[in-house]
Each structure stands twice: as structure tokens, then as C-alpha cells.
Structure 1
Amino acid sequence: MTHDTPSEISDLDPSFVFDFETYDDLADGQRWSTWLDVEPLCRGPQPRPDWVVTSQAAVDTELGILKTGKEADAFLVERAVPGSSAPGESVIMVAKRYRSNEHRTFHRAASYTEGRSVKRSRDERALKRKSTWGKIVASSEWAISEWDALKRCWALGLPVPYPVQIDGVELLMEWITDDEGESAPRLAQTRPDPALLASYFDQLRDALVTLVGNGMVHGDLSAYNILAAGDRLVIIDLPQVVDLAGNLAGHEFLLRDCTNVCTWFRSRGLEVDGDELFAELLAYAF
């Protein structure tokens, strides 16, 4: 066995010299970043926000549960490079994890998924039989559906969380906060003054115009899946997005969305009508 002499080391091309740091074993509730574990198409669309952490040295740390639901649970996850304080190397995200065997909307999925296609015939048969594997496929398909909807909405400039990545039934996305840096409340939890209330409705109407103009309907829109991030609204929970033209119930879903949101705004003192909003939106449908 031979050892390099100091003179031999000094003759090394600097491009072959690099610094490295070893890390201790990860603690419970931590994992190495999964950013490079997923395929490129499973990572967020370009241009990516500056806060997206792409370093292979980053560690994901569970910070706690944000929301529990019948179809999925949402957790706060910090992705950060240990010991680094550089910009773009630490961020808190939401990890939405769909359940594999007890998906809330599995039994009524047909009304939402009409017009959608499943890639593998075996999976399609399992879905129709509602077998155990079919339920697993359903949870994965709903995660993919929300991923695709978020990417499409983000590209259209709609107010939705930025989709960071998808890995199986886990969807990582932007954490929406209020002016104090806390989790933004649901619109249903707020009591905005008249001016802000009117602004919120205008924002929501504009978003719906863009959605409908691109052939999409949220399908489950209400004040409970809209976040109030200071003076702006952000729409969340998009796995059931409906094709307005391809789904026979597309117009029914749109009318229900309009009725739900207008009912809430009227309860806060803004005179709006769900039928009028529905008729207005239909004028933008292609």
C-alpha cells in the first residue's frame, strides 16, 4: 500500500479536489431528500421558485400534522441542508399523503373520473371491481390527478400552491402562510371587512373564469378548500378536478361550486348569486 506524498498532492488538478462533510445517522422522523429519487416529470414545473430545495444533501424532517382528512392527511415537512444557512437550502412544505385502502371518494369516484383514462388495463379492471388492489390504484390515481391539476393550474397563473414533487401517494407542495408566517386559515374561518370580502370574490371569480375557459371545474369548491393568505386567496384540494366538456356532469359540478361559494359570501354580507355566477362562467366555456 502506498501513500501520496505532499508534493504529489499539491500537483493534483484543483478540479479534482472538493470538500465534504459527513453526517450522523438521521433521527426518527427524518429521511434524505427524495428530490432526486423521483423521475424528472415528477418534479415541479419550470421556472421553479427560488425556495425549492434541490440539493442532494438535504434532509426532510417531519414537523407535525397540519390537517387530517377522510382521503388524505397533510403534514408539514422541512427540507433543509444540515448546517447551511445559504438562501434556497431550507424550506417548509406541505406533504399531502393519500391513503391506500380507505379513500373517501372511492365509492363516488365514477362521477368525477368520467372521461379520464387509466394507463394499464389491469388497473382499470381492478378499479371497476373495487378490489383491494383497485383501492390502492385509486389512491395513487387521485394523487396523480391532483399533481396534474396543480401543474396545469400553476402554468395558467392560477392561485394554487406550487407543486414541488410527487412520489407514489405523497404530494409535496408549497406551504401557504398568512402575513404572520403561520398556516393560512381556510376562507370559512375568516370574517373579512367589506372591502376585502369584495376583493376576495373578485379574485375567486377571475380564477373560475380561467378554470372554465380552459375546460376545468374544481368539482368540490367551497370556503373550506380556499385559503385566505393575507389579502389573496389560494385554491387547494384539486384531486377531483372535472373536465367540463368530457364529463356529463361537468355543468352540474360547476353550478354546485358556484352555489357553494356564493352562499358563503352572502353569509358574510356580499350580495352575490350562484346562478348568475354560473351563467357568467358559461360564457367563457370553450
Structure 2
Amino acid sequence: MKIPKRIQPLVDDGLVDEVTSQLMSGKEASVYIVRCGETIRCAKVYKEASQRSFKKASAYREGRKVRNSRRARAMEKGSGFGREQQEKVWQNAEVDALYKLAEAGVRVPSPYGCFDGVLLMELITDDEGYVAPRLNDVTMSAEQAVEDHDVMMGYIVKMLCVGLIHGDLSEFNVLVDEYGPVIIDLPQAVDASANNNAEWMLTRDVNNIRDYYSQFAPELSKTEYAKEMWALYEKGELTPEIELTGKVQENTVEADLAAIMQEIDAARNEERFRQERLKEAKDGVDESKFNWSEN
């Protein structure tokens, strides 16, 4: 096929030998299957900001830090240079997350570098060598659903342990090869400790995955892994090896209204009694003075 304009520089530099086909076009990027020597990989071409349809991008960028102070100031001001730098940060976020998560033991495509808005990475295939299907195209037994759901919860825990939340995780951002789930699409990954939206993004990620697998294993719909993960994370007790239960100890003790009202009445009576004693003491002093003068 014709080489896309954005990939041409990689061909010129010998990083890509051939573009064989377009794999998909999404809200933030287009993905192509490419040949690099004897290896088949994929090239993710990020769309320009004006062409992206990803909603609420600012919510995902919150907390991302830039070491270069000049770049940071430009990004805050929203100048042309600042917008250009913001795009680079957005694009590099995915390759940085891929390296970080692979090291943490999360199954993600292996990255081979990001070159001017084009991310070269591993092409995930099935056992027959075809492009691996997305999770939303896969059906499974209840037993397999429970097993893969457990794997995914483990991956999300490992992500959180290195300070990352996917931010847009669902059955559409997970591939399934012969070894199980592989998490993809990470340019919007958020810093769990610096983003004010971190907790609800984690909850949405976890619940999206839970809801999909619960179609095959209904008992999963009652689990509360997001609450459990976040509670442990906030207490500094979350570790990659932790065994989660999917349950959260809720405070189920109902308020005893009668007892509360009794305490309120007792407090009122005590205060009334105290005021009466004060009044009696004051009156008693006055009366003693009056009686003394009479004598």
C-alpha cells in the first residue's frame, strides 16, 4: 500500500521497510502493519490534536510533569511552542508507560521507540499468526472468564503499584493471544498520585473489565476490586503480590436512633440541671447577703 506521509521518514531512515496494511483508525491514532527487516510490527501514528476526538484530554494530562522549565511554562501559557511540546508529552506518555509496565510484569506490546509521533511496537498475534482479537470479540467459558478476570485485576494492581492508571481501560483496549490478555492503548495513562481524577478513573477501568467478564461469569458482577485496591493503595499497603478478595468491609451497623435520642435528652437534662444549680447557687448567695443585712 501507499506509505502514509507520517511513516515515510521512518522508511527513509531504514526503521521501516514496508507498510503492508492499515490495521485500524481510532479516536486518537491510526495503526498500520509494517515490516521491519524480517519482523512484522505495527506503527501507531498519532493524530494531530485538532483531529483527535478523545474527550476531556485535560483530565488525563493533569499531574504530568515536564522537567524542562521552559517547556513547562510554554505549556501552561498555551503558546504555539507550548502546544507542540504538549503533543510530544502526550505521544511519549504511551511509550514511557509501555516500558514501565513491561518491567513491572504487565503484558503490553513491546515498544521499539517513538519517532516524530509514530510509535513502533510489537504486533500481538494469535496462535495462527493473525492479528490477535480484541477482548470484545472473544467469548469464553465461565471458568476462563474468572481466570482471565483474575489476571486482569493482577495487571491493574501492578500498574497502580508503579503509580499508573490506564484511564480508558475496557474490552476494546485489551487483546487476547494464546497466552491471555494484553493491555494496549496507553497515551492517556494517568499518574495515580498526582491526578485528582485518579480514583474514579481506576474505578471505571476496573468496573469496565468486571462488567465484560461478568457476562460469562455472573458472580463477578458482585465484586468490588476497585474499592479494595484504592483503599490499600491509599494506606500504602498495595503490593504486586497481594491477594485481593474483591470484597470491601462496609460499615453495616445501623444507627440506633433511640439510643442517640436518649443521649441527646440526657445531655439536655444535664445542661438544664447545671443551669439550675448555678441559678440556685447565685440566688443562695444573694439571699444570704440579704438575710445577713437584716440581722
Query: 2:98 touches 2:186 (CA, 8 Å); kept in 1?
Result: yes
Shift of 1:280: 2.6
Q: CA deviation at 1:135?
A: 4.8
1:72 aligns with 2:29: yes
TM-aligned CA distance change 1:284 to 1:213, over 3 Å:
farther
Superposition deviation, residue 158 in structure 1: 0.8
Report if aligned partners of 2:27, 2:54 keep a CA contact under 8 Å in 1. no
Evaluate the alpha carbon distance shift between residue 208 and residue 214 of structure 1 in structure 2; reply closer, same or farther with a 3 A threshold: same
CA contact (8 A) 1:161 1:236 kept: yes
Tell me the residue number matched to 1:42: none
Unpaired runs of 5+ residues, structure 2, are 237-295
Normalising by structure 2, we get a TM-score of 0.70
Residue of structure 1 aligned with 2:89, choices 141, 149, 159: 141
Please state how far the C-alpha of 1:196 moved relative to its aligned partner. Answer: 1.9
Partner Cα distance (1:281, 1:75) in 2: 36
Alpha-carbon distance in structure 2 between the residues aligned to 1:264 and 1:200: 11
Residues 178 and 230 in structure 1, CA contact (< 8 A), matched pair in contact too? yes
Q: 1:237 aligns with which of 171, 185, 189?
A: 185
Please state if 1:177 is matched with 2:125. yes
**Bigger mean CA offset, 123-132 vs 113-122:** 123-132
* Alpha-carbon distance between aligned partners in 1 of 2:222 and 2:57, rounded to the nearest angstrom: 25
Does the 8 Å contact 2:153/2:206 carry over to 1?
Answer: no
Q: 1:64·1:76 contact (CA, 8 Å) conserved in 2?
A: yes
Counterparts of 1:63-212 in structure 2 under 5 Å? 63-80=20-37, 90-104=38-52, 108-120=56-68, 123-124=71-72, 127-128=75-76, 135-212=83-160
Moved more, 239-248 or 123-132: 123-132
Checking the alignment, whether the CA contact within 8 Å between 1:200 and 1:232 is kept in structure 2 is: yes
Extract structure 1 runs of 4+ deviating beyond 6 A: 30-33
CA distance, structure 2, for counterparts of residue 207 and residue 196 of structure 1: 16
Which letter does structure 1 place at the counterpart of 2:95? W
2:172 corresponding residue in structure 1: 224
Structure 1 stretch 112-121 or stretch 155-164: which is displaced more?
Answer: 112-121
Q: What is the RMSD computed on CA atoms of the aligned residues?
A: 2.9
Match of 1:24? none
Q: 1:202 to 1:275 in 2, by over 3 A?
A: closer
Superposition TM-score, scaled by structure 1 size: 0.72
| Greater mean deviation of Cα atoms: 100-109 or 161-170 | 100-109
Question: Letter of the aligned partner of 1:66 in structure 2?
Answer: L
Q: CA deviation at 1:124?
A: 4.3
Instruction: Kindly tell me the number of residue pairs found equivalent between the two proteins.
Output: 232
Decide whether the 8 Å contact of 1:255 with 1:275 is kept in 2: no
Output the amino acid matched with 2:135. L
Higher-helix-fraction structure: 2
State the AA in 2 paired with 1:158: V
The answer for unaligned runs of 5 or more in structure 1 is 1-26, 38-55, 81-89
Q: Secondary structure at the match of 2:225?
A: helix
33 and 72 in structure 1: CA distance in 2 versus 1, 3 angstrom threshold: closer
Is 1:261 matched with 2:235? no
Q: Which amino acid aligns with 2:62?
A: E
Q: Which AA in structure 2 matches 1:146? A: E
CA distance in 2, matches of 1:132, 1:32: 25
SS in 1 for 2:220: coil
Secondary structure in structure 1 of the residue aligned to 2:214: helix
Among 181, 189, 200, the residue aligned to 1:252: 200
2:16·2:34 contact (CA, 8 Å) conserved in 1?
A: no
- Report the Cα distance in structure 1 between the residues aligned to 2:55 and 2:78, rounded to whole angstroms: 8
Equivalent residues of 1:223, 1:264 under 8 A apart:
yes
Identity %: 34
Q: Does 1:29 align with 2:9?
A: no
Residue 214 of structure 1 is aligned with which of 147, 162, 168? 162
